[in-house]
Structure 1
Amino acid sequence: MGLGGTAKKLQTVMDSAEKLYAKMNEIIGELKDLQQEVEDTSGQVDHLERDLAEQRALVEALAAKEGIDIEAVLEDADLPPEPVKEDAEESESAEAAAGTDVPVANESSDK
């Protein structure tokens, strides 16, 4: 009788381990997909930044040729405020305060 109960417990542990392993593989796949998306987005942002820098250089050259005061135009423009850059230390503490821990599903609810 003792061996039957132990076998059943071991089978339950093995089933749980298999579910955990499958879920872990699923998460690894999702992380790889996310990493690829981040790399693609980073490349797109780099391309946009270069295009914007080229356009700015052209507009500044045209403005200089026409005798337009760029600083005066920018002061008069209705521009959104520049974003405030956080220090790395402030950013880390803000993330910690926001609770960036990933919740773990309760395994007993799957049974």
Structure 2
Amino acid sequence: MPGITSLQVLTAEHKIPLNALAEPIQITTGRRLRERGWPSDAATVAVMLDSGGAFTTLPPEDTYIWWGAYLGMEKQCLIKGWLNEVSDEIIQRRSELREQHGWIMDIYLLAKPEK
């Protein structure tokens, strides 16, 4: 859809705001997340261009993820939850989808909300 970003579709499909009220957000790549970890000045992190699983480098028990692949398409797939509960599911599903379609484009949003 022209003019609509994958990040906008991700938040709309998960029915969430992009960030908490007055809280900063960082948009980064999977490579940077792997190399530098959680950005110190961000409450929410959006990750694009991840070759797969950079979120596994984060502490899984206090991080929530909203993940989506093929956003805005018929084959759209969404998964959300605490990293310690859905990390393996996302890795597995991502692999299956890539195998099935020959390519994958996905994006995810990370936050550390109160449990």
TM-score bracket for this pair, using the shorter chain length: under 0.3
TM-score by length of 2: 0.23
Higher helix share: 1
Higher strand share: 2
